[in-house]
């Protein structure tokens, strides 16, 4: 009788250990799945925002005179390029860069992605797409009204 109780106790301990191991494995699986789903969603949303540039380009090209359509399309390509470059060099560091104290108005690190240890590239791309889209929206309002130099200065600032 004592031998049967010892076997049942050993079996119960073994079963408890297996359940604990399975629970830990499932928690890891859930965390990995959630991280993957977040990444997929952020990249999808980033792609949608990025494709807004194509829509704005077509809208602007249809809203200007024929002789300026090519200029508008080139300007919007320049906006995307300069917008992401400015985001890379200055924008991310000011907006989301780590600060010495939480009360600071702007970030003070991660300019040109130096010391970018967070590895959160999906957030970088998502916010960069919005940065460039902000300038693209304004380019439609400025179509045929400003020179490229003035608009380039606006895009950088």
pLDDT tens-digit series, residues 96-131: 887 777 777 788 788 888 877 666 888 889 999 988
When pLDDT is cut at 50, 70 and 90, the band that residue 62 belongs to is very high
What's the confidence (pLDDT) of residue 41? Answer: 93
Kindly state the helix (H) or strand (E) to which residue 103 belongs, with its residue range. none
Measured between alpha carbons, how far is 56 from 82 in angstroms, rounded to an integer?
A: 16
CB 56 within 8 A of CB 137: yes
| Geometric angle at alpha carbon 32, from 26 and 34, rounded to 5° | 100
Backbone angles phi, psi at 97, to 5 degrees: -65, 150
| The pTM of the whole model exceeds 0.95 | no
What's the confidence (pLDDT) of residue 106? Answer: 80
- 40-55 burial, b at 16+ Cβ within 10 Å, e below that, comes to eebeeebeebbebbee
Residue 95 has pLDDT above 60, yes or no: yes
- Mean pLDDT (whole number) for 28-39: 89
């Amino acid at each position: 009788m004592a031998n049967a109780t010892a076997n049942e106790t050993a079996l119960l301990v073994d079963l408890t250990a297996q359940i604990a191991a399975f629970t830990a494995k499932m928690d890891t699986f859930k965390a990995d799945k959630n991280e993957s789903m977040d990444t997929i969603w952020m990249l999808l949303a980033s792609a949608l925002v990025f494709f807004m540039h194509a829509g704005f380009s077509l809208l602007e090209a249809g809203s200007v005179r024929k002789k300026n359509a090519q200029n508008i399309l080139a300007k919007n390509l320049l906006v995307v390029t300069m917008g992401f470059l400015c985001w890379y060099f200055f924008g991310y560091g000011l907006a989301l860069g780590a600060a010495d104290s939480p009360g600071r108005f702007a970030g003070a690190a991660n300019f040109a992605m130096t010391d970018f240890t967070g590895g959160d590239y999906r957030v970088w791309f998502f916010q960069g797409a919005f940065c460039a889209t902000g300038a693209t929206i304004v380019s439609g309002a400025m179509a045929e009204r400003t020179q490229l130099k003035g608009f380039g200065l606006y895009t950088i600032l």
